[in-house]
Structure 1
Amino acid sequence: MQENHYYVDTLRLVTDLTNTPVTDLADLRERCARIRLDIPARPRDLAEVRALVGRWVEIVDAASEERRVALLNALLAEAAAYPRITDHDGTGWHLHYRDDDVPLAAALRAVVSVAAAQHLTATGMHRLGRCALPECRFVFVDFSRGGRQRYCSRVCANRDAVRRHRRKTAR
């Protein structure tokens, strides 16, 4: 399955915002600009994005697929708008699932909810998780081919592999 870069970038952004919380409006603007979400940020957006991150954590940590879908559907309902075809950033025609002239936090909520829905329905509801390394526990979106990602990064996977190897050879 070919992933849409727009969705992948959006899911990487919400993962980044979760694992490394936003510090201030300038930080929020800079991170959103990376995915070409160049909307002026208001002071209220900071609190609303932090609330979105809290809801994202609930979706990631959902105990069942049904719960994950219910939480994601609630987020999608709040972001309901007519889809629009646009080439606002010169990267080619693509769909926007948000109204024009919405605040940054509302736009982010819309793109995150649609990106997650697209990714999870196309690849499987299990493609969100937390790092298996006990001292890490960062969240991740599984973009792997096989859909069996257990760690947030290669660093954590390697650290755990070394730990297992040392335990095994110490016997």
Structure 2
Amino acid sequence: MPFTHDTESALQAAAALVNTTRDPADDALATLADLDEFVRDNEYSGTRAHDRAELVAVQSLRSPVGHLWDLSTEELVDTVNAMLVDTAALPQLVRHDGWDWHLHATPSDAPLATRMKVEIAMALVDLVRAGETDRLKRCAADDCSGVLVDLSRNRSRRFCSTTCSNRVAAAAYRSRCSQRA
């Protein structure tokens, strides 16, 4: 099922946020420069504080957002509702930066972490309403803790990145070759 651009973007950004901690030895969201790149890559709009408190607030979203991938639909609904209440979300239609009409549920001057939390919650609302929560998946690579949003038509995506996919395929190939020898 195709989702609106803002839903897909928010879901992909949520997975990207969680995956910044995929490699425990290399936090991909450790500095303000990392946050600037993350915000730019995921097209977040609105005001920014550009300070350590903003970075810490965004970093603190990673664990609770990652936990969303492990919830049943009923638990997800309860959590999403709590996120929306906690942020006093008030949905409204907006158009900006080359994006056509889409929903924002916080003012553009709300803190970045609040805007991110609400966008994630609103995207999850669409997933729940469409009966598509099974599109939230954990990476199939045994040595990876990454998450993904499977937006493929046939729901066949298994890996959080090309790196994991290639690593698993190479290991399977090596295993087949060693069995022949």
Q: Does TM, normalized by the shorter one, top 0.5?
A: yes
Closer/same/farther in 2, CA of residues 38 and 30 from structure 1, 3 Å limit: farther
Identity %: 34
- After TM superposition, the runs of 4+ consecutive aligned structure 1 residues lying more than 6 A away are none
TM-score, normalised to structure 2's length? 0.79
What whole-Å deviation, never above 9, does each CA across 1:34-55 have from its counterpart, x for those lacking one?
A: 3142421343222221121111
Can you give the 5+ residue segments of structure 2 that lack an aligned partner in the other structure?
Answer: 21-27
Q: Which moved more, 1:99-108 or 1:79-88?
A: 79-88
TM-score, normalised to structure 1's length? 0.83
Q: Which amino acid aligns with 2:115?
A: A
Q: Which amino acid aligns with 1:22?
A: L
Indicate which of 38, 45, 69 corresponds to 1:31: 38
State the match for 1:93 in structure 2.
Answer: 101
RMSD: 2.3
Can you give the 5+ residue segments of structure 1 that lack an aligned partner in the other structure?
Answer: none
| Contact 2:73-2:128 at 8 Å conserved across structures | no
Matches within 5 A, 1:102-121: 102-121=110-129
Closer/same/farther in 2, CA of residues 154 and 29 from structure 1, 3 Å limit: closer
Closer/same/farther in 2, CA of residues 99 and 43 from structure 1, 3 Å limit: same
Matches within 5 A, 1:114-153: 114-122=122-130, 124-153=132-161
